[in-house]
């Protein structure tokens, strides 16, 4: 079994459990407020880390290359309220152009 399949199984089972936890187990009881605050911060924290790794990640080093130009272009697109897919296309196009020129 490849790594991808193991990840698919783990994440699939976990996500099914996460989605159904409230409806199946909890009913109307809310999370304690401080636990709720921690859960609320998980998504932005993971996303910013993924942005950094995907933009600057190298082989155990920080690399600054054409990706930075693409992500900067995407930031402008997001700023101007472009759709997610448009932002992705802008990033890909800008990065590809820089690589073509290099």
6 belongs to the binding site for another protein (CB under 8 A): yes
96 belongs to the binding site for another protein (CB under 8 A): yes
With 0-12 CB in 10 A as exposed, 13-18 as middle and 19+ as buried, what is 62?
Answer: exposed
Pick out residues in 31-70 that bind another protein (CB under 8 A).
Answer: 31, 34, 36-62, 66-67, 69-70
Long-range CB pairs of 72-77 (<8 Å, 24+ gap) are: none
12 belongs to the binding site for another protein (CB under 8 A): yes
30 belongs to the binding site for another protein (CB under 8 A): yes
User: Number of residues in contact with another protein, rule: CB under 8 A?
Assistant: 77
Closest CA to 88 of 101, 77, 102: 77
């Amino acid at each position: 079994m490849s790594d991808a399949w193991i990840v698919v199984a783990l994440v699939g089972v976990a996500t099914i459990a996460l989605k159904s936890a409230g409806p199946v187990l909890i009913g109307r009881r809310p999370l304690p407020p401080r636990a709720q605050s921690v859960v609320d911060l998980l998504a932005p924290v993971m996303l910013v880390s993924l942005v950094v790794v995907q933009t600057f990640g190298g082989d155990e080093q920080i690399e600054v290359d054409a990706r930075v130009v693409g992500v900067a272009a995407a930031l402008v697109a997001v700023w101007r309220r472009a759709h997610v897919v448009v932002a992705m296309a802008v990033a890909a196009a800008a990065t590809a152009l820089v690589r073509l020129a290099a």
